[in-house]
Amino acid sequence: MLARKAAALLATAAAVVVSVVVAPSASAHVPNRCSGWRVGVFDLNNYAGQHACFNSGSGDLRQFALNNRISSAWSHDTVPWCLYDDFSFRVPFSQMAPGGHYPVFAAFATNRASSIQRGACPAGFGVLPEPGVSVS
């Protein structure tokens, strides 16, 4: 398990182009996992389970064992992030709002993302609704 996490961390470091790291916001209800990163994604609700941290995104979430497995996420970024159903940023289906917190993804978006990228989706794709639920 430790080796898997180490491998995931190495994959994260290798795959993510680190530019300016945005300091996390003061949102007290978001756990410290991925502190200092723009976006954290998780395979379980409430920011739990397998996770990955991004500053620009990934064209292949298999690298993080998270393909079709993201069910919660948060963003500390100031711009939207687009979620894609396919690899290599193909088939956008929704976007996370700047600073959005999603302890539970909407049903249509759960376990669907195969790639994720900083920046808005093409026009016509709505913002993922935030459930407004805080994690204590």
Residues contributing to the site for Ca ion (CB under 5 A):
68, 85, 114
In the chain the first and final C-alpha atoms are separated, in Å, by 27
CB-nearer residue toward Ca ion: 60 or 85: 85
In the 8-state DSSP scheme, what is residue 128? P
Bridge partners, residue 2, by sequence? none
- Which residue sits closest to Ca ion, CB atoms considered? 114
CB-nearer residue toward Ca ion: 78 or 111: 111
CB-nearer residue toward Ca ion: 30 or 113: 113
State the nearest-atom distance from the C-beta of 68 to Ca ion, in Å: 5
C-alpha 89/C-alpha 4 separation (Å) is: 25
